[in-house]
Structure 1
Amino acid sequence: MNPSPSSIIFGKAWLYCTVFLTGAAVMVIELLGTRLIAPFYGASLYVWTSLIAVTLIALAIGYYLGGIWADRARSGLSLIIAASGLLTLIIPWLTGPVLLATDPLGLRLGSFVSTLILFSPSLIMLGMVGPFAVKLSTSALANVGASTGSIYAVSTVGSVIGTLFLGFYLFPLVGSREIFMGLGVSLLILAMAVAWIERKYLNKSITTMVPTALLMAIGLGLYPAIASSGEAEFSNTFQTRFERESLYGWVRVIDKPKENIRLLTADASTIGAASISHGENLLTYQKIVAQIPHLSSNIEKALLIGQGAGHMVATLNKAAIVTDTLEIDLAVAEAASKYFDFIPTGDRIIGDARYEIRQLKGPYDLIILDVFTGGTEPTHLLTVEALTQLHNLLSEHGILALNFVSFLDQGKNPALASVSRTLAQVFSHQQIFISDPGSDFNDFIFLATNHAINLNDDLIPFSDRTWLKQRLLDIDTTHGTILTDNHSNLELLQIRKSEHYRRMIVESIGTRHFIR
């Protein structure tokens, strides 16, 4: 007997709804994956590469296994979805142990292996949904090509909607751990609905309902344990004053009372440090800012890109310099005001620098580019094109100050050489200073101008001249490359730096500081 039109429509509807929702779940897991991994390994190209590769690997395996299962058994779609829900639900709970176990593998291999362990099981199960749905759709519609195309089209549309909904609406309002748990529970509920349809309309065995219900019960039972695992655990050595998961990272203010230190961190980077008792700046490299007003006359207006805790604004304010600040993360700006007493002296801009600097008019007498910290680096801000944009905002005698964290390597580090060669494409003069002459791993301050800076100028106080000359540096640019929007290998050149910096932070604060 041929199926009725209503049953055909219902068969399409529930299948399309299922693949739409599971398609959305795939992208939610992929996008949220970086928010669990980034605090530990950084939101670098390697983390994103690992997530994309693992997603594709898992889906390929899921498509293959799903096709085999669908050919051998006409029931089980609800069980597949339920398994994906449970595996998604436990991801936040497994994150800590997995990241700790993969830590010795280093940045690239560690991020890939941890991503593979955490996300591939649930993604494999979600990948199995498509072939199973095609099998069910084909038996009802007897049109293999159209059925397959429509199933995967709807699944892809679900992925698109899931991506937009997560990025534009859900994530700004809800934390990543809560989204993971909500997604897991939602998949379990979907599995229950599919099991009911399989039993009532497709005449499948009731046994599919039993494991689905069991998995859901186990998953919901795990919820309190998973939720509690996200609580911050600090000894009396550390006190978390502020914690916010923003669109760009995990922002924290951490006090170390015994050492009289207050830290502002974003994921695995320390972007501000001050004494708890008096609030004075503890980052040595920022002391050079106090010297800059002596290097050029009539500096009245400055732009700081990468506000951090805002100490440089206060320093410039002492020299009667008004400073506009540009910070990508609203949570960082909030923490700076509340816990580091940051008071803006100029315009306060929140946004991505490459976009926002196109909106600025200038001119600025001084631009400070302070975004290349010990952690993940926004390499798109250190290219010929980006520096040209900043150059166009400078006044005739303006100065660009750029802070860069790396190794000295006896002046032969290719990363430092690349920065220098790239600056030379835009500015005719540059001078390089090292923050701590006694250390190989260091902050390096590049001053780029279109005019020569004379450190022997009598306008510069003698003590400042001495301080600067002791830190003046020559580097070998032979092995450097010119960084452009089209090609930048800066992340590759800075792998050793990123791993060394993370080890330093781990020794100072502890590994669990970076685990969500």
Structure 2
Amino acid sequence: MATTTPSKPSAKGMRAMARRAKISRNSPTIPNTLGFSKLLAVFKAVVLLSTASIMSCASQMALAPVYGGIPTSLYHSKISAFVFAAAWIAKYLPFKLPFKARNLLPVLSLYVPAIQRALARYSDGWGPFCGPIITEGVTFYPLLFLSVYSIAHLAHFGNFATDGVVASVFAGYFWNMQSSVPKHLMNRIGSSWILTRCGLPNLAGGIYALVSPSLLLLTAIPAMLHTNMYNSMCTSTIGLNEILTASNYTLLARQESNTGYISVLQHNHQNFRVLRCDHSLLGGVWEVPPPGFEYMDQGIKEPIYAIFVMLEAVRLIDPPPKNLNPKALAIGLGIGTAVNGLITHGVETDVVELDPVVHQYATEFFQLKENHTAYIEDAITFVKRENSNRGKDRKKYEYILHDVFTGGAVPASLFTLEFFVGLRDLLSEDGVIAINWAGDLKLKAAKSIIETVRTVFDGCRVFREDMPGEDIDKATVDYTNMVIFCTRSPDPYTFRAPADADILGSITRRHFLFPKFEIDLDQYFGVSGEFTLLGESNIDALIGWQETSALGHWRVIRTVLPPVVWENY
């Protein structure tokens, strides 16, 4: 067979071959491999950042029963932003960490409940300002730093311009996740063990371990044993009661829910029972009243807080509503002190309560009467829906009770002009609304809330729970519980003296049902003065004002129950 010798390629052919080689080097085959590798790295980075967001939520949930929701969140976002920036910049430093940061993440996550539990015992000395910062400085912030440090290396693209864009995208994603994770979890918290303040760190630890498996995970075994066997935040009620018994308290029930950690506590010697929500008390009763607190056998136990009894004074309004079978709406339940009073007097009552566990415990442990209609939902949703009804299905109430104060603060959305307008539309023409609010009358928030209410309703009168001090004009602080009574009519009204039937045999009602200490608003605040009408557009103003109030409330409530009760939950 004849063979041929290949000819020497020409200069033109060599240039063509060079072009083909260049195209081959830029062909999709190799970049696809590199692209998949980088895509996988970015995916891991997103998972790590999402898991850090879960830990952010879990950390604040764990600290809220010890410090309260507002003090816990006061500087959380700002410090998180600083830690995020510091961790991203750290990757440009000339030296590197002597270990693989990702391998430590599952271990740190699993140790968070144990460390936070150990540090809770120092909360009384640290206070609500420093306590959350110190605790998260030892637990969450190091975890966040190493998470972002790992992410910064995984999502490294080789030049500062691209890296800056990537850092901004990840930062935006993290801030969005920090706010969206609690919203998505709110109605699922407590539905299973993994969706609790103890379960979430274990979930995060598992996710971290999947992203970066390592034998270091074995060092977290003591933390997992502690969480499941010795941590009072996570163990059974029996284990927790061993701690509380030394302070004469017994935990009757507890559950995490959409408004926080809910529990029922009873004092073994003084015989009172309270309903707790995070670092606040929603109400309480005397199980066996002390001498002098005898009451008739009406099935209603003596309340330990007078302000809830004062809300029942809507029945004492004179002139009364024309409807001989009045209806009442209660926004916020607590233990149901005022609701039980209305029901006992034959008032058909609807209750709107966001937290199903609060309603459950009020029924099981505080004898909330069954003959009421409960709407377990957000009050804004309820009010908008009922106002959209027309005809015979449209609700009208002669009495409305608005009592949503907890943890030194109120849900700001329930104190806006728009929400009060919705309540006014549900109030009958001759009805009365009673709004409970606690705070410092010397602060701008007090006048703003009262003036917002007065803008919507007529005939508003404000009564405080106790007599003011003698030098109230010179005082810098005037913290009190108050009830704002308003009507839809500008016509003047009074309160009739309570009859024996109104008292229900209760010493507390005999002394506090009739409102006594009225505030002369024009004299107290002055005819003029700075205030803000609160609406949906400026709701952040009230949220900001309540920070000071919440810090003050923390110190007050720590004197009601001993620190060991607040720290062990």
| TM-score under structure 1 length normalisation | 0.82
1:368 deviates by 0.5
1:425 deviates by 0.9
1:152 deviates by 8.2
Counterpart in 1 of 2:86? 61
Counterpart in 2 of 1:513? 565
Alpha carbons 1:306, 1:371 under 8 Å: kept: yes
Counterpart in 1 of 2:525? 477
Could you tell me which amino acid in structure 2 is paired with residue 272 of structure 1?
G
Q: 1:457 to 1:376 in 2, by over 3 A?
A: closer
Counterpart in 2 of 1:448? 486
The whole-number CA distance in structure 2 between the counterparts of 1:493 and 1:131 is 37
The whole-number CA distance in structure 2 between the counterparts of 1:190 and 1:427 is 57
| Residue of 471, 474, 486 corresponding to 2:537 | 486
Could you tell me which amino acid in structure 2 is paired with residue 284 of structure 1?
A
Counterpart in 2 of 1:363? 396
String of CA shifts for 1:105-134, please: whole Å, max 9, x gaps.
554454444434431100000001222113
1:387 deviates by 1.2
Alpha carbons 1:15, 1:133 under 8 Å: kept: yes
| Residue of 236, 249, 254 corresponding to 1:243 | 254
Which protein has the bigger helix share? 1
Work out which of the two has the higher radius of gyration on C-alpha atoms and give 1 or 2: 2
Alignment of 1:23-422 (within 5 A): 23-44=49-70, 47-68=72-93, 79-101=100-122, 103-104=124-125, 106-135=127-156, 163=181, 166=185, 172-173=191-192, 174-192=195-213, 212-213=214-215, 215-227=216-228, 228-229=230-231, 230=233, 231=235, 232=240, 233-236=243-246, 237-277=248-288, 279-295=301-317, 296-297=320-321, 298=323, 300-360=326-386, 361-373=394-406, 375-407=408-440, 412=442, 414-422=444-452
1:483 deviates by 2.6
The whole-number CA distance in structure 2 between the counterparts of 1:93 and 1:225 is 7
Could you tell me which amino acid in structure 2 is paired with residue 473 of structure 1?
I
Could you tell me which amino acid in structure 2 is paired with residue 454 of structure 1?
Y
1:276 deviates by 2.1
Structure 2 SS opposite 1:509: coil
Structure 1 SS opposite 2:369: coil
Name the stretch that deviates more: 473-482 or 307-316.
Answer: 473-482
Q: 1:144 to 1:386 in 2, by over 3 A?
A: same
- Structure 2 spans left out of the alignment, 5+ residues: 1-24, 289-299, 387-393, 470-477, 504-509
String of CA shifts for 1:69-90, please: whole Å, max 9, x gaps.
7x869x96xx211222222222
Q: 1:419 to 1:460 in 2, by over 3 A?
A: farther
Structure 2 SS opposite 1:291: helix
Name the stretch that deviates more: 486-495 or 149-158.
Answer: 149-158
Q: 1:332 to 1:218 in 2, by over 3 A?
A: same
Alpha carbons 2:189, 2:257 under 8 Å: kept: no
Q: 1:304 to 1:82 in 2, by over 3 A?
A: same
Percent identity at matched positions? Answer: 18
1:252 deviates by 0.5
1:337 deviates by 1.3
1:453 deviates by 4.5
The whole-number CA distance in structure 2 between the counterparts of 1:106 and 1:52 is 19
Q: 1:168 to 1:12 in 2, by over 3 A?
A: farther
The whole-number CA distance in structure 2 between the counterparts of 1:380 and 1:100 is 34
The whole-number CA distance in structure 2 between the counterparts of 1:178 and 1:318 is 42
The whole-number CA distance in structure 1 between the counterparts of 2:515 and 2:173 is 61
The whole-number CA distance in structure 2 between the counterparts of 1:498 and 1:382 is 17
RMSD across aligned positions (CA) = 3.6
The whole-number CA distance in structure 1 between the counterparts of 2:347 and 2:168 is 59
Structure 2 SS opposite 1:399: strand
String of CA shifts for 1:27-58, please: whole Å, max 9, x gaps.
112222321222223222x5434222122111
Name the stretch that deviates more: 180-189 or 384-393.
Answer: 180-189
Alpha carbons 1:58, 1:124 under 8 Å: kept: yes
1:375 deviates by 2.6
Q: 1:444 to 1:53 in 2, by over 3 A?
A: same
String of CA shifts for 1:376-401, please: whole Å, max 9, x gaps.
32122112222111111111011110
Alpha carbons 1:34, 1:47 under 8 Å: kept: yes
Count of matched residue positions in the alignment of Structure 1 and Structure 2 = 483
- Structure 1 spans left out of the alignment, 5+ residues: 193-211
1:60 deviates by 1.0
1:455 deviates by 2.5
String of CA shifts for 1:125-180, please: whole Å, max 9, x gaps.
00012221134x76xxxx99789878986897798599387567676432121111
Q: 1:427 to 1:157 in 2, by over 3 A?
A: closer
Structure 1 SS opposite 2:538: coil
Alpha carbons 2:314, 2:433 under 8 Å: kept: no
Alpha carbons 1:435, 1:443 under 8 Å: kept: yes
Name the stretch that deviates more: 21-30 or 274-283.
Answer: 274-283
Counterpart in 1 of 2:464? 434
1:477 deviates by 2.4
The whole-number CA distance in structure 1 between the counterparts of 2:217 and 2:497 is 77
Structure 2 SS opposite 1:127: helix
1:312 deviates by 1.6
Q: 1:339 to 1:108 in 2, by over 3 A?
A: same
Structure 1 SS opposite 2:467: coil
Q: 1:492 to 1:107 in 2, by over 3 A?
A: farther
Alpha carbons 2:439, 2:549 under 8 Å: kept: yes
Q: 1:222 to 1:495 in 2, by over 3 A?
A: closer
The whole-number CA distance in structure 1 between the counterparts of 2:547 and 2:120 is 18
| Residue of 487, 501, 504 corresponding to 2:556 | 504
Structure 1 SS opposite 2:155: helix
The whole-number CA distance in structure 1 between the counterparts of 2:171 and 2:311 is 54
String of CA shifts for 1:455-485, please: whole Å, max 9, x gaps.
2768989998997363333241245623333
Counterpart in 2 of 1:199? none
Name the stretch that deviates more: 374-383 or 250-259.
Answer: 374-383
The whole-number CA distance in structure 2 between the counterparts of 1:365 and 1:240 is 38
Alpha carbons 1:40, 1:267 under 8 Å: kept: yes
Counterpart in 1 of 2:455? 425
